[in-house]
Amino acid sequence: MKVLVLGSGGREHALIWKLAQSPRISALWCAPGNAGTAGESLASNGQLVANVPIGADSIDALVDFARRNSPDLTVVGPDNPLALGVVDRFQAAGFRIWGPTQSAARFESSKAFSQAFMDRHGIPTARSGVFDDPVAAKEFCRQLQGRCAVKADGLALGKGVLLTTSIPEAEEAVDEILVDKSFGSAGDKTVIQELLEGPEISLHAICDGKTALLFPTSQDHKRALDGDLGLNTGGMGTYSPTQYLDPAQLESVGRAILDPWIRGCIEEGIDYRGILYPGVILTQQGPKVLEFNSRFGDPETQVYLTRLENDLLDVLEASVDGTLDRIQLRWSPDPSVCVVMASGGYPGSYAKGRKITGLGEAAQLPSTKIFHAGTALQCDDVVTTGGRVLGVTAWGPTLRDARERAYRAVDTIQFDGAQWRRDIACKGLERS
């Protein structure tokens, strides 16, 4: 089979790495990919993965590429092409593609849609309201005593959520979104939630329109600095499994969210095929969904796919074909840890084009995989091109082993200005 993966981050390198192991794949492209994706080769025939210089949002050019090269399956990594309707466009052109349609992807592309859906179908979530009028929005913030998550409705590069703990702060956040339009038209509406307290975990389920198979838990580290300080980022590291829920609790939390969600989708005619990734806070009153994402998490994918024992192609095809009820997901019991190495200054402005060294040495380490994110090849060098540069991932018999291996690999890699958190998976160690 010939497979095309869309995207260029760490998530997409992990998807490519795992798909390349499939004995059924004879050609694999990544559009646009990074230096890491271009370095993978196929288990079936030793061929290298080919990067294709087309952005994941350039849908016309992608459809054109598909017409010329006839991929048997296209796999969508990021949220933006989903929101732009890449799945609908590929299907209309007669191509098989994995991911939710534009309408189904509203679970991520519209927080107002998602929140209303949760409320309609009794999915446990925060107390919330949706507003386009700043006066009404501020009144709701006062009812919540200013302890709010004030969110832009649409996609805002992960930056459209303002957490507040006082009424003036909350009112300012409402103005920022609805009046100053800091997030453009993504902020035509705001979703305001009560501020939830408790540990946050990531859930993932793969869906085929009627069946949703739950993954183990993972935990991201969203703030830039150790101790959950600093600015919100795309994610500075993950580990899986977490120690917050035992398997029976995970099953029960998963069902409390997924059963009403899937019933609601069927009732409303939403044929959701892809990953549903609920962000969940475990509050004293039970688990509550903060938001739904309609794709794999990044860097959650890096720890999930280093634990998944199935052929990923089988799983993705079953999701497209509506046959997930015949699949049993199998996970290595070994925990996996991913430490993100980022460019100095991220998530603010940062330099690009810094040469990365030590990758060859890191590649020799056992039970370790260096996933590339913001990297490119420049002559024979691998250089930085993004905020999140590498997802240094390792696994082992215990969380402590996995973590030590990941940090050992981090120590072998250098680039000017590199920053990373030193406390990835520490919450897991404290609890185990």
**Which residues contribute to the site for ligand GLY (CB under 6 A)?**
220, 234-235, 293, 297-298, 300
- Indicate which single residue of 3, 14, 196, 205 sits in contact with ligand AMP (rule: CB under 6 A): 196
- What does 300 bind: ligand AMP, ligand GLY, none (CB cut-off 5 to 8 Å by kind)? ligand GLY
- What does 297 bind: ligand GLY, ligand AMP, none (CB cut-off 5 to 8 Å by kind)? ligand GLY
Distance CA 393, CA 382 (A): 18
Distance CA 140, CA 128 (A): 9
- CA-based max dimension of the chain: 63
When asked if residue 279 is in the footprint of ligand AMP (CB under 6 A), the reply is: yes
Q: Are 315 and 22 in contact (CB under 8 A)?
A: no
- What does 298 bind: ligand AMP, ligand GLY, none (CB cut-off 5 to 8 Å by kind)? ligand GLY
- What does 392 bind: ligand GLY, ligand AMP, none (CB cut-off 5 to 8 Å by kind)? none
Q: Which residues neighbour 155 within 8 Å (Cβ) at sequence distance 6 or greater? A: 79, 80, 83, 108, 109, 186
Among the listed ranges 129-137, 191-199, 314-322, 345-353, the one in contact with ligand AMP (CB under 6 A) is 191-199
CB of 114 or CB of 319, closer to ligand AMP: 114
CB of 122 to ligand AMP, least distance (A): 18
CB of 45 to ligand AMP, least distance (A): 41
Q: Are 403 and 395 in contact (CB under 8 A)?
A: no
Distance CA 59, CA 31 (A): 11
CB of 300 to ligand GLY, least distance (A): 5
DSSP 249-307: HHHHHHHHHHHHHHHHHHHHT---EEEEEEEEEEETTEEEEEEEESS--TTHHHHHHTT
When asked if residue 195 is in the footprint of ligand AMP (CB under 6 A), the reply is: yes
Beta-carbon count within 10 A of 246 CB: 10
- What does 196 bind: ligand AMP, ligand GLY, none (CB cut-off 5 to 8 Å by kind)? ligand AMP
Beta-carbon count within 10 A of 348 CB: 10
Beta-carbon count within 10 A of 40 CB: 21
Contact code string over 209-248 relative to ligand AMP, x by CB under 6 A: -------------x--------------------------
When asked if residue 106 is in the footprint of ligand AMP (CB under 6 A), the reply is: no
Q: Give 398's DSSP letter.
A: S
CB of 196 or CB of 390, closer to ligand AMP: 196
Tokens of 212: 């949703």
| Interacting residues with ligand AMP (CB under 6 A) | 126, 149, 151, 161, 163, 193, 195-196, 200, 222, 279, 290-291
